[in-house]
Amino acid sequence: MNLNDVQLFLIITETLSLSQAAKRLDISPMAVSRRLAGLEGELGIRLIQRTTRSVSLTPEGAEFIPYAKTLVEAAESAKASFSPDAKGASGLLRITAPSGFGRRQILPLIPLLLAGNPALKIDLQLNEEVVDIVGRGIDVAIRIAKLKDSNLIARKIVDNPRILCASPDYIKQVGVPDTLNDLTHHNCLRLTSVLQWTFEQEGQSTSISVDGRFSSGNVESVRELCMQGIGLAQLTLWDVKKEIEEGTLIEVKLQDARPQDLSVWALFPTTRHLPQRVTVFIEALKASLIK
């Protein structure tokens, strides 16, 4: 199997355009089409559905992506490992992460990673959506949630329990809730997509609907309003660790329940071969979180 044609297939999946793939490789669209057809013939499957206006992945094409990435990345790593000029990780590292966690915990690592790995490039995508990392060619997704069953490979990086918190001013003015039921009397600041807060109570998981006068699609906004004394918030440890250490937020502990435990997870399309760039990033992130 020609690795150049496999790389061509991956470029087509990124651009979803034969002409754009041709421009990136500086070859003709006809050459792209001919080489793609050759790869499909060798595999005995149709990878890309072509029309006069667009291209799209077939189910077999989507399934082939992680194998294609493994082949190309293994070749790149072999070259990097045995090159006399090899210096650290190389290639394009594509990461997706929640916006709040990404800005606070991942962005500070980028300068160090780039400085220590001169041949490395990084594309960091911060959003609250759960993206298709296989279809978008993402190397690693950082997620902070209860993981659903999938074909992805998950690796736990660090514990990240939820924390109920409020500002000193809010507690002084409104008081501290003692039980779950007390939360109904407080202004609960929540993420727009989180209609319920989950707690552990007597060994069982329980969720309660919360209401308040403010909600937002991102963690930073909820944290900021909480710091200004507008209400209570339930965020994760790494969202508020700095503020709690500084005293601008105070952890609120209920007598009859505690917030649900979560973790920071790294998700990969496959572990058949993790590129050095992924391993370097995961090690740097884990080291920064457990120090």
CATH code that applies to domain 162-261: 3.40.190.290
- Domain ranges, ordered by start, for the chain: 1-68, 88-159+262-291, 162-261
For position 96, what pLDDT does the model report? 94
For position 79, what pLDDT does the model report? 64
Q: First-to-last CA distance in the chain? A: 45
For position 88, what pLDDT does the model report? 77
CATH code that applies to domain 1-68: 1.10.10.10
For position 87, what pLDDT does the model report? 64
For position 20, what pLDDT does the model report? 87
Which residues lie below 8 Å from residue 228, measured CB to CB, with a gap of 6+? 167
For position 269, what pLDDT does the model report? 81
pLDDT digits (tens, 9 = 90+) for 253-282: 999 999 988 899 999 886 566 788 999 999
What are the residue ranges in the chain where pLDDT is below 50? 84
For position 113, what pLDDT does the model report? 95
Distance between CA atoms of residues 256 and 260, nearest Å: 13
Which residues lie below 8 Å from residue 24, measured CB to CB, with a gap of 6+? 11, 15
Q: How far is CA 219 from the centre of its chain?
A: 15
Distance between CA atoms of residues 90 and 258, nearest Å: 43
> 0.95 exceeded by the pTM?
no
Q: Would the CATH topology of 1-68 be identical to that of 162-261? A: no
For position 142, what pLDDT does the model report? 95
For position 264, what pLDDT does the model report? 93
CATH code that applies to domain 88-159+262-291: 3.40.190.10
Q: What are phi and psi of 250, to 5 degrees?
A: -125, 135
Is 7 within 8 Å of 92 (Cβ atoms)?
no
